[in-house]
Structure 1
Amino acid sequence: MIIGNGLIANSLKDIDSEDNIFFASGVSNSLETRSSEFEREFTLLKNTLENTGDRKLIYFSTLSVNDQSKQNSHYVLHKLAMENYIKKNSDNYLILRIGNIVGKGGNPNTLFNYLNNQITNTHKFTVHNKARRLLIDMDDITKFLETNCILLGNNIVNCAFPYYYDLKEIIGAIEKKTQQKGIYSESDEGDFYKVDFGENINSFFSGISPEDYLETLTQKYI
């Protein structure tokens, strides 16, 4: 059973199962501040948990909960509250903390979509040189769940390709694919937080170089 209709929900259709509830409906904008949006997701989650039965709940959270610069943001506080509610009220769950998703369509404000739009439309933008980002192909989230969902019970998993990309690495890959140069200024700013990846994630991405992974993303989605 899949709850939601966005990028994550649509990408999970091939592994949909009556044994699992994929909770892929929620607040997609990390800059959201309206309490009504957060309350809507909480109410939906609460009602879902009351009707899960023996099925496993898979909830999609965010790696941003590790970002010290965002500890007081409405979005991060909400995601942590949702995680805690699940842990207290479910006997069968898996929480995936997701990095920056790259996929077909989806939120235009995600990092990859934003940079692609700025470059292809020759818009000026600013690059924070100290920033590092963790990327994840939406297809890899689906594949990871297909092979690991049963094995990982009552757990929180940090889910992203385990490499911290410099923004100019990502820009360079997009420039190469689009054959357009980005118009940007540079600022000595940016955030960077470390994440501990489990053996399941490291094993899943074993043998793939950061360069190859980034090139695959640009070839697939640009």
Structure 2
Amino acid sequence: MIIGNGLIANSLKNIDSEDYLFFASGVSNSLETRSSEFEREFSLLKANLENSNGKKFIYFSTLSVNDQSKQDSRYVLHKLAIEDYIKDNCENYLVLRIGNIVGKGGNPNTLFNFLKNQIKNNAHFKVHSKARRLLLDIDDIADFLSSNCIAVKNHTINFAYPYYYDLKEIIGAIQNEMQKQANYEESDEGDFYKVDFDAKTNDFFAGTTADEYLKILAQKYI
């Protein structure tokens, strides 16, 4: 059973099962500040947990809970509160903390979509030279769950390609695929947070280099 109708929810249709409840509905904008949006997700989640009837409960959180610069953001506090609620009220759960998703459609403000649109529209934009990002192909979520995590019980897993991409690397891959030059200026700003990836995540991506993974993303989604 899948709760939600967005990018993640649609990517799970091939592994949907009555044995699992995939909760893929809720706040997707990390800059959200409206209390009503956070309350809506929490209420929906509580209702589905109460009526899960023994199904394994799989929740999609965010790797940004590891970002020390965002520990006071409403989005991160909300995600952590939901994680804690699940751990305290569910007998069989999996929390999958995911990185910057790359896919077709979805939120136009995601990193890949933003950069693609800026280049497409010849817009001038600023790049923080010290920033690094963890990317994730939307298709990898269902593959990872079906091959690695369905049997995992009461665990939180960090999931993204385990490489910290420089923004200029990402821009370069998009430029190459679009055959169009980006118009940006660099700023000596930005940061990134370290994430501990377990053996399941590292093994899943083994055999694909960081350059290869980025090239695949650009070819699939540009």
Q: Distance in 2 between matches of 1:105 and 1:163?
A: 24
| Equivalent position of 1:83 in the other structure | 83
Aligned to 1:101: 101
- Residue identity opposite 2:206 in structure 1: S
| Helix, strand or coil at the partner of 2:197 | coil
Alignment of 1:106-145 (within 5 A): 106-145=106-145
1:44 pairs with 2:44: yes
Alignment gaps of 5+ in structure 1: none
TM-score in terms of structure 1 length: 0.99
Deviation at 1:150, TM superposition (A): 2.2
SS of aligned partner of 1:212: helix
Which whole-Å deviations, capped at 9, do the CAs of 1:123-150 have from their partners, x for residues lacking one? 1110000100000001001100111232
Partner of 1:213: 213
Matched residue SS, 1:94 = strand
- Structure 1 range deviating more: 165-174 or 149-158: 149-158
Question: 1:153 Cα deviation (Å)?
Answer: 1.0
CA distance in 1, matches of 2:195, 2:47: 31
1:69 match = 69
Counterparts of 1:135 and 1:141 in 2: how far apart (Å)? 12
Q: Secondary structure at the match of 2:170?
A: helix
User: In structure 2, how many angstroms separate the alpha carbons of the residues matched to 1:94 and 1:122?
Assistant: 42
User: 1:26 aligned to 2:26?
Assistant: yes
**Once superposed, which parts of structure 1, at least 4 consecutive aligned residues long, lie more than 4 Å away?**
none
Match for 2:54: what amino acid?
A: D
CA distance in 1, matches of 2:156, 2:104: 26
Q: Considering only aligned residues, what root-mean-square deviation do their CA atoms show, in Å?
A: 0.6
1:56 aligns with 2:56: yes
* Corresponding residue SS for 2:207: coil
Please give the secondary structure, in 1, of the residue aligned with 2:96.
Answer: strand
Helix, strand or coil: the match of 2:39? helix
Aligned to 1:9: 9
Structure 1 residue matching 2:8: 3-state secondary structure: helix
Superposition deviation, residue 152 in structure 1: 1.4
Take 2:148 and 2:92, find their aligned partners in 1: how far apart are those partners? 14
SS at match of 1:118: helix
CA–CA separation in structure 1 for the residues paired with 2:212 and 2:120? 22
Instruction: State the alpha-carbon separation in 2 of the partners of residues 129 and 105 from structure 1.
Output: 27
Matched with 2:173 is 173
Alpha-carbon separation, structure 2, partners of 1:92 and 1:142: 19
Tell me the distance in 2 between the aligned counterparts of 1:17 and 1:149.
Answer: 14
Residue identity in the other structure for 1:116:
K
